[in-house]
Homo-oligomer: A and B are copies of this chain.
Amino acid sequence: MIPGERVIAVDGGGSGSRFLCDGPAGRVTVELGPANVYTDFDGALRVLRDGLGQLARDMGADLTFAPACLALAGVIDAGIADRVRRALPLRHARIEEDWRAALEGALDGRDGAVVGLGTGSFAARKSGDAARAVGGHGLRLGDEASGAWLGRSALSRALHAAEGLADASPLTDVLLDRHGGVAGIVGFARDAAPADFAALAPEIAAAAGGDDPHAVALLREGAGYMRRALSALRWAPSEPLSLIGGLGAAYLDWLPQDMAAAHVPPAGTALDGALRLAHEFRGQR
């Protein structure tokens, strides 16, 4: 085979990393653990080198010169992108933030916007050559509308209900019962990771479907945040909008009418998006 005919795509994030090599003779994929280059640079690089090494072995080829797009969680600035690029055994690597590939994959390269709704959250929009994202930032200050945010907010409301600062609802009753009241919820929250809060999100979405007032208020608040984020990105209702991530579908019933009307199911995954970006990068070289 001629070197350069193969391209590499990587989707590296907090929940796992997916590697793909696409060439004339077919594709190989590899799945490994999480890789966040901001919170654990060395650990993430081990995962990335390991994944690239497995692709090369599976392909039976040297991939050093293959054009690659790596879309990675934690690429918060150009400096960290450079550090990643220098640390990889690739000569033609494009390092992107993870949202960039998710946007590209969901809209299959078209202009429009996505809102990512998993344990965390972000909103992103592409218009011609420009792409921009807002949000994310983690649960302490951000990740509004995300699964972790929904779970934490519902537990706060359960405390308010237990102490008479808010009305009780079936959702707050069940949260208090299951955790053993106020002290149990406080103890759970003290040690909970964002994923632990997010584990409550499907139940909250189901409660909203059953008209639980606290759950409905939270999903409406989350949708309101998305509206503000999309406004900041200058998204217009004439453009397609995809909700992606595990909680995307849960929010569909709670979107304002113009956002619901613009919604299109995601065309592909972040790995598909990274592959598009890798082919684009190959064409530009």
Digitize A142-171: 1 where CB-to-B-CB distance is under 8 Å, 0 elsewhere: 100000000010011001100111100000
B residues within 8 A CB of A182?
Answer: 137
> Chain B nearest CB: distance from A142 CB in Å?
6
* Residues A98-156 near B (CB distance < 8 A): 134-135, 137-138, 140-142, 152, 155-156
Contact B76 A164 (CB under 8 A): no
Contact B165 A134 (CB under 8 A): yes
* Interface-side segment among A184-192, A267-275, A276-284: A184-192
Contact A140 B152 (CB under 8 A): yes
A141 and B156 contact, Cβ closer than 8 Å, known pairs A76-B183, A183-B77: yes
A61 at interface by CB-CB < 8 Å: no
Contact A141 B185 (CB under 8 A): yes
B residues within 8 A CB of A159?
Answer: 137, 141-142
B residues within 8 A CB of A228?
Answer: 160, 165-166
A163 to B77, CA, bound (A): 15
A229 at interface by CB-CB < 8 Å: yes
Lowest 9 A-B CB distances belong to which pairs? Answer: A164-B232, A134-B163, A140-B189, A141-B156, A165-B228, A141-B189, A165-B232, A137-B186, A76-B183
**A-B residue pairs in contact (CB < 8 Å), sample of 23:** A134-B163, A134-B165, A135-B163, A137-B159, A137-B182, A137-B186, A137-B189, A138-B186, A140-B152, A140-B190, A140-B192, A141-B152, A141-B155, A141-B156, A141-B186, A141-B189, A142-B159, A142-B186, A163-B232, A164-B231, A164-B232, A165-B231, A165-B232
